Structure 1
Amino acid sequence: MKTSDVAQWIVAIVFAIVLQIGVLDQVKLSGYINPQLLPAFVVMSKPVFNKYAHLLIAFLAGFAIDVWNSTGGLYASSLSLLSFVPVQRVLGYAALQEAKSIRIETVKFNRFLLYLLLSYLLFFIWIYVVDSLGFGNLMTLLRKTIASTTASLALIVPVEYVLTKGTGSKNGR
């Protein structure tokens, strides 16, 4: 990977951390909807970094949020899990494995959306299970996971379109 690609993704992840801490962590509707932007940046940047560097960056990004929110490693563990689990292999998407980055402009929209959906479901299930220390109230866990995943996807898809248009690419969808 080029150094400029790595630097751009690191700046994007730092920006996502600041946006997450400053704005999105203030949005919690009834304790069910908790929009997250950072997991999308973490999973979209997977092909840019080697696996150990990506795992370290995901952990440090989660650790920064944990320190700010006093969540005791909740985000560090969940973002590390996203970095560790090869969701693109589970989906069988060879195009996602070979892409330089996982963006709407490099893969088809429906593949991009399914990849993000599975990643966010994994992220939120981990967050809510670890937060509640079990599957005690499964329906509440599922409601929170689905609501937060939907809110996060509703946030990230327009952001990705804006970023794709900002790069001047005409290959979207």
Structure 2
Amino acid sequence: AIAVFKDNKNIGYIPKNINVQIANCLEKKHRVFVGDIIYNYGFIDVLLYFYISEEKNNPNIYLDKNTILDLQSRKIDSKYLKPKSDAVKKNLFYRKKIVITGEFSFFPDRNELAELLFDSGADIDVGISKNIDYVIVGKSPGWKKIEKINELGIKTFNEEEIKNIFSL
């Protein structure tokens, strides 16, 4: 098992079966992105488990149900992380690598937006790199992502632009 620490204090362990999955992933690839591991192997759920466990051990740390639901809604289902093969080829997002970041009022669950893009043939990714074509930016995106988007000059769309493109 992998020990998880917070403030130099052991707060739990990642189960052995997940460690084996990580090892298998690393054996197959020379380079693995942390974001891929988090999304593909459900580590958001593992991290939520540790938050909940720590909350029980320390009443000064509190993660309410709404916060947990918010964290879960930010996770994009892995079935949307590969482009749909039978998508209509004549659209803006077909075969484009896209990252979704921030919060969206029209798409409170990112999977709704991911499914829309997936049906258009988009290749959805979780991290910003030079290979990304577009980023869909909602409210309160991560500052590091914005910095990297600007550095790489990646085209962005906001929620209203996406709604207009898809006539929603």
Q: Same fold (TM over 0.5)?
A: no
- State TM-score, norm by structure 2: 0.34
Structure showing the higher helix proportion among its residues = 1
Higher relative contact order (CA closer than 8 Å, sequence separation 6+): 1
- State TM-score, norm by structure 1: 0.34
Structure showing the higher strand proportion among its residues = 2
